[in-house]
Structure formats: structure tokens, C-alpha cells
Amino acid sequence: MQSGKQNLHPATPSFDVDGTLGRLAKWLRILGFDAAYPCKGPSKGRFFVTRRAVPDQLGAVTVSDGNVFRQLKEVLEELGIQADPGQLMSRCLHCNVPVVAATSAAVAGKVPERVLKTAAEFHRCPRCGKVFWEGSHIERICKRLEDAGIPCSGPRTDVGPASATSNIVVSALR
Ligand SMILES: [Zn+2]
């Protein structure tokens, strides 16, 4: 049996989120983490995030605060990790799967005409088909994170195609 949560989950952690923590699951997805929800307990190789007291269980992260941003901070601090701004909004908030790049031709008719003409790039959820595009929401997301003490470098305009998912925004964030 290994000890230490960092050893158990070396790279990017994945989460199983307790059914009472829906907003936290959504914000973990906004940060680009794989966050399954709702979950009743931990599954192998994933962290179980819960508000219940879990007696010294490896792989469980217990949050105590009622505020979603402070919960988010609790999780990141517990695991000693930081949000990666390059992963922001790289996942469908509804399906928890990574979004993929889509051409403007492919999303025509699925986004408002104004957006089709002005947005530089589009992404699509391969499961539900929801379309995401660049916009000002991302700045508001970063502001909310930074106000909560969670570092966020904000939208980047100088990244290459490999990081192209960093500047997208979800059409139905709220
Ligand atoms: Zn989806």
C-alpha cells in the first residue's frame, strides 16, 4: 500500500465527486479536471471528493467549506496542485469529456450568426454536440478564481495550436 496522495496520483488527478457537490464538480471541469458526478464512492485511481467524514481513506478528499470556491481551494491545496490555465474550459461542463476543435462550417446553424462571424475558433463536445467558442466569459471565470485566491493567468493569445483549447468559452456556462 502506498502512502501519500501525490504518490498515488502522480500527474493530473481525476475526481469522483459526491452527489452533494454538484457546483464543485462543475468548477473542477471548468479548470479542465476529469470530474465524474454524481458518485457514491471512490473508484480505482481517482480521488473521491466528499463533504462527509471519510475515516482516513486513501484517495478521499474531504471538503468542509460551504462555498464552492473555498471548496475548490481546499481540493487543490489538499493535493498540492494548481489549476493549469492552459486547461481552462477544455472539457464539456455537462458530459465531462474533452472538447475537440471544430471548423466554423461545422458549427454553422448551431451558434448565433454574430458568433459565427466573430469568433476565431470553435470547439465541440464529441458526446452532446454542444459548441463552445472564444469570448469574454473566460476573463470573468479567471476573475472569479483569482478573487477566490486561485491563481489564473487569464486568456492567452500567444499560444500555439497545441494549446488552442485554452481560450474557449462555453455558451451555457450559467
Ligand atoms: Zn457534452
Q: Over its length of 174 residues, how does the chain's per-residue pLDDT go in tens digits? A: 444 444 444 468 999 999 999 999 999 999 999 999 999 988 888 999 999 877 666 788 999 999 999 999 999 999 998 888 888 889 999 999 999 999 999 999 999 999 899 888 899 999 999 998 877 777 888 889 999 998 876 544 433 333 333 334 443 343
Are residues 91 and 42 part of one domain? Answer: no
Determine the distance separating the centroid of ligand 1 and the alpha carbon of 131, expressed in angstroms. Answer: 9
Determine the distance separating the centroid of ligand 1 and the alpha carbon of 126, expressed in angstroms. Answer: 7
CA–CA distance from 159 to each of 19, 50, 77, 80, 162 (Å)?
36, 36, 27, 26, 8
Are residues 56 and 21 part of one domain? Answer: yes
Determine the distance separating the centroid of ligand 1 and the alpha carbon of 130, expressed in angstroms. Answer: 6
Determine the distance separating the centroid of ligand 1 and the alpha carbon of 123, expressed in angstroms. Answer: 11
Are residues 33 and 74 part of one domain? Answer: yes
Strand partners, 170: 132
Are residues 43 and 114 part of one domain? Answer: no
pLDDT at 121: 85
pLDDT at 8: 47
pLDDT at 41: 83
Task: Name the domain boundary from 35, 54, 81.
Answer: 81
Radius of gyration of the chain (CA): 17
Task: Name the domain boundary from 81, 105, 129.
Answer: 81
Determine the distance separating the centroid of ligand 1 and the alpha carbon of 99, expressed in angstroms. Answer: 8
Are residues 53 and 28 part of one domain? Answer: yes
pLDDT at 153: 67
The pTM of this model reads 0.79
pLDDT at 103: 94
Are residues 163 and 97 part of one domain? Answer: yes
Are residues 26 and 101 part of one domain? Answer: no
Task: Name the domain boundary from 81, 100, 115.
Answer: 81
Contact 31, 13 (CB under 8 A): no
Are residues 9 and 77 part of one domain? Answer: yes
φ, ψ of residue 152 to 5 degrees: the values are -155, 120
Are residues 154 and 106 part of one domain? Answer: yes
pLDDT at 82: 87
Are residues 164 and 103 part of one domain? Answer: yes
> In the chain, how many H helices and how many E strands?
6, 8
Are residues 92 and 63 part of one domain? Answer: no
| Domain enclosing residue 28, as ranges | 5-81
Domain count, the chain: 2
Are residues 111 and 70 part of one domain? Answer: no
Contacts of 121 (CB under 8 A, 6+ apart): 101, 133, 134, 164, 167, 168
Question: Most distant CA pair in the chain: distance in Å?
Answer: 56
